[in-house]
Amino acid sequence: MNTEHLILAGQWFFFGYFVLLNAGYLSLNLLAMLALPRHLEAQLFDTLPRRYSGFEPPVSILVPAYNEEKTIGLSVRSMLQLDYPEFEVIAVNDGSRDRTLQALIEEFALVPYPEAYCRSVETKAVSGIYRSTQFPNLRVLDKENGGKADALNAGINASRFPIVCGVDADSILERASLRRVVAPFLHDPSVIASGGTVRIANGCEVRDGFLEKVGLPSQMLPLLQIVEYLRAFLFGRLGWMPLNAVLIISGAFGVFRKQAVIAAGGYRHDTVGEDMELVVRLHRLYRLRGERYSVVFLPDPVCWTEAPESLAVLKSQRTRWQRGLGESIVANRGLLFHPRGGAPGWIALPFMVAFEWLGPLVEVAGYAFMAGSFALGAISLTAFLAFMLLAVGLGTVLSVSALLLEEISFHIYKKPAQLFTLAAAALMENFGYRQLITLWRLQGLWQWLRRTRGRWGDMQRSASWKKTA
């Protein structure tokens, strides 16, 4: 095979890959659009006067915290004002080096509280347990640093209720979020996990734990992430729901049946993607045992979280996510094409392997190959422009369609100026931002191949959305 044939073969390979990639995302978009009306109909009941049925299961909210002194008080306070009949909040200080524990003690008048601590899952040593004198349903664990997974496992050990909800320490929950995300457990006893949408808090105003105003950030980086999150949650996760093939429940806001998590061994300590790994493991265990189960994603329970505002922090986050993706796939590779794998093993996991895990390698190689071939005159201008239209143009369509779906269904951003700004961001993110994210994901893939050790990452918080009461 001569050079001309090799270039032609490479050209068709990358064309075919990007066609399949975009066809997969467009299929998820279609599935999401078909599934969304049912969720919107159910949401109409929230407009009626509500009385609790008495069947709502009590929930333990777990808040792992590492160096979160700027936001931990506000986040915990937002959870204490949730509209739910019975719940407890367990904040876990994972050996923070800043004043996270002291901030909690001062904010909520904590006092030492001796109580039995049962180790259903092994964790690092817990050095102290505190209870609030202001809020009877708030407790705080102080423990040795062991990572986010270890902190969540410690919270599970201390929890008293059958449903556990993991929430990031920099997150704010809307008042009805917990009630909505727990609803599937009432309707279907086979539900073992449920997750909601995560939105960007940068530019919003939160006062005393309440989200008072939805706004947009003034910085470009978090603005681009708003569009990215809309696409990932409204299409990327809602689209898998009808197939019972949701592989990711965000660690920022996920609800699990406690006994299912304990039976699976809890969160793994040796991965930086503990949230995805647990969900994929649950799929694998239940599928291979032939047990009936459901993993649910709901677009309307909302959790607001702070997005990175610097390139360095964003890079660290995305390389960490990519390593976690690789660790989750390899640890649960037994599900891949297993006779009992169903949609998760035969559709969702292969999709993740081909387009999310190995995708950055193929995408970067495709850009380099096509650009190099065009520069050397090996391919025509028409072929090069067709490739760029496929790679960038359809990505723009996906971003804009996510924004349109958000506007039609939830209408979170109400001002015309906000919609115009987001539309501009949906166009701009495809010209540089997504390519930069792909390069960082490629670096994360390389770090996974080198077995770079993951850790509980430091994220700089500006907490600009936190307003003084």
> Do the beta carbons of residue 170 and residue 430 sit within 8 Å?
no
pLDDT of residue 44: 57
Range of the domain at 258: 24-51+170-350+459-467
Rounded-to-integer distance, Cα 194 and Cα 297, Å: 6
Q: How far are the Cα atoms of 67, 84, 241, 333, 348 from residue 295, in angstroms, in the given order?
A: 31, 22, 8, 19, 13
> Do the beta carbons of residue 227 and residue 426 sit within 8 Å?
yes
Domain-located, residue 156: no
pLDDT of residue 42: 61
pLDDT of residue 296: 94
What pTM, to 2 d.p., does this model score? 0.90
CATH of the domain at 250: 3.90.550
Domain-located, residue 435: no
Rounded-to-integer distance, Cα 341 and Cα 347, Å: 9
Rounded-to-integer distance, Cα 140 and Cα 107, Å: 12
Largest separation between any pair of C-alpha atoms in the chain: 78
Domain-located, residue 36: yes
125 CA to centre of own chain: 28
Rounded-to-integer distance, Cα 93 and Cα 65, Å: 5
Domain-located, residue 136: no
Domain-located, residue 302: yes
Rounded-to-integer distance, Cα 298 and Cα 181, Å: 7
297 CA to centre of own chain: 11
Domain-located, residue 357: no
Q: How far are the Cα atoms of 36, 49, 350 from residue 233, in angstroms, in the given order?
A: 12, 29, 19
pLDDT of residue 269: 87
Q: Which two tokens stand for residue 20?
A: 């399949």
pLDDT of residue 453: 63
pLDDT of residue 88: 97
DSSP code at position 265? T
Rounded-to-integer distance, Cα 219 and Cα 94, Å: 31
pLDDT in tens, the chain (469 residues): 678 888 888 889 999 999 999 889 889 988 888 888 776 666 655 555 555 566 789 999 999 999 998 889 988 998 998 989 999 999 999 999 999 999 999 999 999 988 878 889 999 999 999 999 999 999 999 999 999 999 999 999 999 999 999 998 888 888 888 998 999 999 899 999 999 888 898 998 887 767 888 899 989 999 999 999 988 887 788 889 999 999 999 888 999 999 999 999 999 988 888 999 999 999 999 999 999 999 999 888 788 888 999 999 999 999 999 999 999 999 999 999 999 999 999 999 999 999 999 999 999 999 999 999 999 888 889 888 988 888 888 888 888 888 887 877 778 888 889 989 999 999 899 888 999 999 999 999 999 988 876 555 555 555 555 555 5
Please count the structural domains in the chain.
1
Backbone angles phi, psi at 143, to 5 degrees: -140, 165
